[in-house]
Amino acid sequence: MAWRSFLTNLLHTPLRRLLAAWVELRLIEPEPEQLAIDRHLPTLYVLAHPALSDVLLLENLCDRHGLPSPRSRLDVGQRPLRACLALPAAKRRFGRRSSPTPPFTPLIDHLAAHPEDQIQLVPISVFWGRAPGKRFGLWKLLAADSWPFTGRLRRALAVIVNGKNVELHFGAPLRLSELLDTRPSAITNRKVARLLRVHFRRLRTRVLGPDLSHRRTLIDGVVTSPTVKQAIAEVASAQGRSEARIEKRAWRYGREIASDMSYPVLRFMDRLLEHLWNRLYDGVEVQGLAQVKALAGAHTLVYVPCHRSHIDYLLLSYVLYREGLMPPHVAAGRNLDMPLIGGLLRRGGAFFMRRSFKDNRLYGAVFNEYLHRLLSRGHPLEYFIEGGRSRSGRMLAPRPGMLAMSLRSHARTSLPGTSGSGRGLVFVPLYIGYEKVLESGSYLKELKGLRKRKESPLSVLRVLGQLRQPFGRVAVNIGEPLHLDAFLDRHTPQWRSQRALSRPPWLTRAVPRLGTELAQRINAAAALNAVNLVALVLLATPHRAIEARLLARQLRLLVTLQRRLPGAPHVSLPEGEPEDWIARAADLGFIERRDQALGELVLADAAQASLLSWYRNNVLHLFALAGLTAFAFHYNARLRLAELHDLVAPSWPILCRELFLAPSASLEAALHAMLETLADEGLLESWRDAWQRPRGQLEANECLQLLGRLIQPTLERGFLLLTTLLRRPSGTLSREALIEQSRQLAERLALLSGLEAPEFFDVRLFDGLVESLQSEGWLWQEQQCLHYGQSLERAARQASTLFDPALRQRLLQITEAR
């Protein structure tokens, strides 16, 4: 035995050195320093399958980080056991699959005889490249690490080809003694192996994703599915054409839709995007990804980010790939399926959809079936519930299409006996926050009325021309995941009994609730940064100019409010001090700093102010309650808590709906906490049983006014709409007429007051206000006209005391003149 060990070491030493010189570990998870290994206990490393390259790689890593050596031997039983072993692979003999006996029996017998001893098992997974498993493909046959275990030749090629793209994942250490019971050691042996195999399978699913069919095979399965076959027959009958001709059209739709994820393209995109981010941004900060990794192996994930830029889906796929997660299949608009760019996106995982296909029965059936097959097989998905990019910077109202299709697919998948039953679907909300977005200039033009420019390869070249500009940092924040089964059980418990229906009645109630919940969770993970903080303060000034000293104080106040009373649970705050944030905004070109004899001033011209409004709107919801509380003291010097509550209570639900905020459990308790916080910051003071503006403190009063002006445009927009509505008797205005008259009134008021904010009279915001009033029961529609009651009139009269009397008089004059 000694000579065999000597020969093994003689062979392994040069191979280890060669491997150390060639291989680069792109990802080690978790970092060895964070691994919860007790270095004083005997340690057994367990590999998913036998591979010399994995053993040598692990030996190098353990030596480098001072971990227990895999070359050591555990003194158990009559023969010492190596500290690194692999689960034996199943073999086929005479057409039958045999499962070899797991190798843990000596350890189990030793612990049974010596219960005072401890042995820890550490699962090790090594990935040489990360190819999504496909049943066909030259690359899979040659070198890529995919779902089927590799042979010796393929593994040697994998080491050569993928030596610079290797991942090593440590599992949580497992105390073997905790798994022992009174049952025979053979049963415990199989139990330990089963636990380890489940861990390896889930991790492999998380990193590689489920097995992929070849694109042609997948499309063939879609077209020949019963639902698409039925649609083909119906369309052929309705149009008087042969089914064969309609089937060809279905094939064409399938090719138009389906992605063709390719591992070489994923690697190319990874290198390309790494270079792009280094040129564009100062860094990408990711927060909350640990909870996604914990879910990825056993659940089907649907990523639902906010949509602010074309960069969003590239950025998210890059982040997930870099962090050891399988990049999702991304739903992209058909407008992006253009020459060169479309093919690259398709091989990176994008599948393309038309903007609307409700009138195309066949296309809808093909798309629904394709989406169902992705979800039922457990592939991670990504789509934007807003439908398109937000030109105003706000969270847009969720569109029902993809959510409804996902819910129908989940209902089909969860039927007993189906292949996907038992695998939960989890929505992962994400907030992507930019210090400077690539499309800000085009958004500004579109808000001013110019038509959206059609995407083309030339537009990509125009973007590349901006690479020399600074774009700051990017934040990717993971919100609270939403488990779909639990959500449906809570809101529509009848879904389980009706899930076999193709169009179940609970769907019309569940989809809007789901969209609102996801939008709230996205907003709850917002990222505060230097630009949106400066925008919040500077745009609250009357003339877009402020003293640098006062700006710094107000910035510090906003961050303090978020620390003490966070507007959302997963918000991230910027590093550094207010002076650093001001300098950052200036470096990115959003503000001008001007030295004066009496102190530095910070200013923004009209163009800068219009751009800053987009960034302010990203995070305005975080300060809705603080702004509403402060605004109540603009024209009310002193208020009791009950008076404040009565004053703002009608407006608060409307604000929550417009800004996608989760309403407080108790508005009165939230207001009391906010009053105390503002008093601690010196912006209010307590007087007997009431609260009032601080007397004789000009700067504190100015800070309170700036805080209140954050929410002032939103409140004034609602007041404009109510003024327009209540000037006419109930039942005399249609919804469309109310929205258009309110928009015209807002536009006129903005021009008269010199307000450079096109979004102030954005028709979509007025449409959302009407919908919110209807949802809250203030308005209802009969015979195409809107009706209201005395309760709305009383609430409007009470809320009018919040506003400047001069504004009320001007609105009265404009509406009377109309």
CB within 8 A of 168, min separation 6: which ones?
A: 25, 27, 28, 29, 57, 58, 61, 124, 125, 126, 127
**Separation of alpha carbons 775 and 794, rounded Å:** 18
Place of tokens 């083909």: 232
pLDDT of residue 505: 87
| Most confident of the following: 325-329, 428-432, 449-453 | 428-432
**Separation of alpha carbons 802 and 665, rounded Å:** 24
For 689-738, the pLDDT digits (tens) are 899 999 878 889 999 999 999 998 888 888 889 888 988 899 999 999 99
Q: In the predicted model, what is the mean pLDDT of residues 439-465?
A: 64
For 785-801, the pLDDT digits (tens) are 999 999 888 888 888 88
For 737-774, the pLDDT digits (tens) are 999 998 888 888 777 776 666 677 788 888 989 999 99
pLDDT of residue 135: 46
pLDDT at 476 over 90: yes
pLDDT at 449 over 80: no
pLDDT of residue 122: 94
Which amino acid type is present at position 343?
G
What pTM value is reported for the model? 0.89
For residue 64, how many other CB atoms are within 10 A of its CB? 11
Query: Residue-wise over 724-760: b if at least 16 C-beta within 10 A, else e?
Result: bbeeeebeebebeebbebbbebbebbbeeeebbbbbb
- Mean pLDDT taken over the chain: 86
For 19-61, the pLDDT digits (tens) are 888 888 888 988 888 888 888 889 999 998 888 888 899 999 9
Q: In the predicted model, what is the mean pLDDT of residues 268-295?
A: 86
Q: In the predicted model, what is the mean pLDDT of residues 484-507?
A: 86
Q: In the predicted model, what is the mean pLDDT of residues 86-106?
A: 72
For residue 517, how many other CB atoms are within 10 A of its CB? 19
For 122-156, the pLDDT digits (tens) are 999 998 877 665 544 444 444 456 545 556 777 77
Q: In the predicted model, what is the mean pLDDT of residues 173-195?
A: 86
